[in-house]
Amino acid sequence: MAKIIEKINWLISLISWNLKNWRRNRILERESISDSIWQKVLKQFKFLHVLTHEEKIRLRQFVILFLHDKQIVGAHDMEITEEMRITIAVQACILILELDVAHYDDWVEIIVYPGKFILDYDYADEFGVVHHAHKVVSGEAWLAGPVILSWLDAAGFDSRPSDNVVIHEFAHKLDMRHQGANGFPILHANMNAQIWCDIFSKAYAGFCARVNKGKENTIDSYASKSPAEFFAVFSEVFFETPLVVKQDFPAIYEQLVLFYRQDPAGRWGKSKLKN
């Protein structure tokens, strides 16, 4: 009996895998993005310059699939152009380049504000006490809900070299797939949860201690706000300026390589050898 159930489950997963591929191929056959906009957007982000030809092809396919499934809407009647859609999608898809677009399947909407926006809401803490939050932010990701972005920041007009609000918010989205945002995303079969927790807890404690003593960190001190922010900020730096993470936090770098299945610092090394 167990063997029959195993075989049925195998058949179901094979059929759903084939259906998923059939649907994706149909979307890729019918939809495309303009070459000129694609090249313009690629030029804008240094971390995309070092991708191989094959990686750029896959990224472009992921961007098409991503844009097919997501609704990107402007707040305050802001018009969202094709270039803006691709600018956001390309940064969101770099995180899942070696994973799968299905990692963003559990939600649909991206709301874009022209610039930074105000969040004004009540929330209950772990003890049930209700607090009021009022803050100016460049991005926000809601559990099973939308990602909200400031266009000025998402386009990179208003940020430092290692900052990337799109990567930050989409890292939260990946993190949220496992028990909410807590810096402990769903790990792959070849990863060890205990090792992840040990390495991240130790690095987070050390990072917070430095911030509390007022010492300089090579990475934005906002990472000390919570383990979830630590994971999101380190994901930004991992893609934008990976050598900083590799040199100053090698154990974290190794875990992020395993999680994202990418080695961004290695890409920079290879591209230097080519030039």
Contact positions vs Zn ion (CB under 5 A): 229, 232
The CA distance from 115 to 236, in Å, is: 20
Task: Categorise residue 100: left if φ over 0, alpha if ψ from -120 to 50, beta otherwise.
Answer: beta
Q: What is the closest distance, in whole angstroms, from the C-beta atom of residue 94 to Zn ion in the complex?
A: 17
Q: What is the closest distance, in whole angstroms, from the C-beta atom of residue 176 to Zn ion in the complex?
A: 11
Q: What is the closest distance, in whole angstroms, from the C-beta atom of residue 92 to Zn ion in the complex?
A: 15
The burial class, CB within 10 Å (0-12 / 13-18 / 19+), for 238 is buried
Q: What is the closest distance, in whole angstroms, from the C-beta atom of residue 204 to Zn ion in the complex?
A: 14
Q: What is the closest distance, in whole angstroms, from the C-beta atom of residue 168 to Zn ion in the complex?
A: 6
In this complex, which beta carbon is closest to Zn ion, that of residue 220 or of residue 229?
229
The CA distance from 92 to 107, in Å, is: 14
Q: What is the closest distance, in whole angstroms, from the C-beta atom of residue 268 to Zn ion in the complex?
A: 25
The CA distance from 252 to 254, in Å, is: 5
In this complex, which beta carbon is closest to Zn ion, that of residue 59 or of residue 112?
112
In this complex, which beta carbon is closest to Zn ion, that of residue 200 or of residue 268?
200
In this complex, which beta carbon is closest to Zn ion, that of residue 22 or of residue 121?
121
Cα–Cα distances in Å, from 203 out to 198, 253, 255?
9, 11, 12
The CA distance from 60 to 67, in Å, is: 11
In this complex, which beta carbon is closest to Zn ion, that of residue 112 or of residue 141?
141
List the one residue out of 157, 155, 154, 117 whose CA is nearest residue 136: 117
Amino acid (one-letter) located at 182 = N
Q: What is the closest distance, in whole angstroms, from the C-beta atom of residue 134 to Zn ion in the complex?
A: 17
Q: What is the DSSP string of 66-82?
A: HHHH-EEEEGGG----H
In this complex, which beta carbon is closest to Zn ion, that of residue 50 or of residue 256?
256
Question: Closest residue to Zn ion, Cβ-based?
Answer: 232
In this complex, which beta carbon is closest to Zn ion, that of residue 64 or of residue 139?
139
Angle at 169 between CA 165 and CA 173, to 5 degrees: 165
In this complex, which beta carbon is closest to Zn ion, that of residue 229 or of residue 263?
229
- Alpha-carbon torsion angle 17, 19, 25, 29, nearest 10: -170
Q: What is the closest distance, in whole angstroms, from the C-beta atom of residue 228 to Zn ion in the complex?
A: 7
The CA distance from 76 to 78, in Å, is: 5
| CA 98 from centre of chain | 12
